[in-house]
A = this chain, B = another copy of it.
Amino acid sequence: MSQHSIAIIGVGKIAVDQHLPVIAKNPAFRLAALVSQRGIEQAGVPTFRTPAELYAAMPDLDAVAICTPPSVRHQVALEALNAGMNVLLEKPPAPTVSELADLVRQAAARRCVLFATWHSQYNAGVEEAKKRLAGRKIASLAITWKEDVRRWHPGQEWIWQPGGFGVFDPGINALSILTEIAPEPFFVTAATLTYPANRDTPIAARLTFASDAGLPGAALTAEFDWRQTGDQTWTIEIVVEDGTRLTLIDGGSKLAINGNLTVAEPMAEYEGIYARFAGLLDRGESAVDAAPFHLVADAMVVGKRETTDAFEW
């Protein structure tokens, strides 16, 4: 295992909360630089204002982690690939299906590693659920992802703007767990998307799936809602063909089997992400799971739209 030099592009909340401390404690990485338009600095490493300045100053850099807002991610990632960098992408990896597909092609053409991260996939309960579902049929699946938008995204106007994903911003985390643990692909067959009268993205959504993983007639559903006050709910409940009930709780960090807590570990999502990235870099392999993103696009394509009360912060 070699040590990989890495720079972070876009030093916002997720970079400060997760990427920087996790890189600092992983010996497989050495933080070489930051790129911050606002000039955010960290002791011991240079800060550049633009990626172009970074690549000019450090042509031997191994990798960059792109933590900018999604809208510019394709452009920033393409510039990195053109500079010969290996690239880690925060979620969602791109604003559109086409841009993500293009990045996969471009990385392959340049023989660079491209890694699209989905942080929720790195919880201990997720791994255990995947093992227990392997080769099994599902009698029912119910995703319930209900949180308070005012608590988690206070004042973030971009989430309500066209392309801002709305409640699919958290919902895609649930879908990324589903695509990770499902023994066969899931497809959206119907959806209801609930838009505030004054907003351009949904505040709630209900999805119905079909899958060869389901027994005939199995109810396979997801419910996302951003209007949940009080207790927050990030739960996936699956009944397996033999009647066993798997409940992923708190976003996948806990797993209950028939109501008995079997896995309950502290969240270590970004530790898992960087451990995996180190392995991908060592092997020169890319890993881009486009399936969660595709399910969101599909829900928007097949979704029936309904309007609800206007939303104000």
A-B contact pairs, 25 of them (CB 8 A): A74-B187, A95-B301, A96-B187, A96-B188, A96-B294, A96-B298, A96-B302, A97-B97, A97-B294, A97-B297, A98-B185, A98-B291, A98-B294, A101-B290, A101-B291, A102-B185, A162-B303, A162-B304, A163-B301, A195-B305, A200-B305, A297-B297, A297-B298, A297-B301, A300-B300
Q: Is A99 an interface residue (CB 8 A)?
A: yes
In angstroms, Cα B311 to Cα A177, docked, is: 40
CA distance A188 to B162 in the complex (A): 12
Does A190 make an interface contact (CB < 8 A)?
yes
Q: In this complex, what residue of B is CB-closest to A75?
A: B210
The answer to whether B304 touches A200, judged by C-beta atoms less than 8 angstroms apart, is yes
A13-48: CB near B (< 8 Å → 1, else 0) gives: 000000000000000000000000000000000000
How many copies altogether?
2
- For residue A54, which residues in chain B have a CB less than 8 angstroms away from its CB? none
Interface centre among A98, A191, A297, A302 (most CB of B within 10 A): A98
Chain A interface: which size bin?
Answer: 20 to 34
- Chain B residues with CB below 8 A from A298, complex form: 96-98, 297
Q: Which A70-89 residues sit within 8 Å CB-CB of chain B?
A: 74
Nearest first, the 3 A-B pairs at minimum CB distance are A163-B302, A96-B298, A297-B297
CB contacts (< 8 Å) of A187 on chain B: these are: 74, 96, 98-99, 102
A116 interface hit (Cβ, 8 Å) = no
- Is the beta-carbon distance between B188 and A98 smaller than 8 angstroms? yes
Instruction: Mark out the residues of chain A between 277 and 299 whose CB falls within 8 Å of any chain B CB in the assembled complex.
Output: 290-291, 294-298
Residues of B within 8 A of A294 (CB): 96-98, 101
Q: Name the distance in Å between A135's Cβ and chain B's nearest Cβ.
A: 17
Chain B hits for A185, CB < 8 A = 98, 102
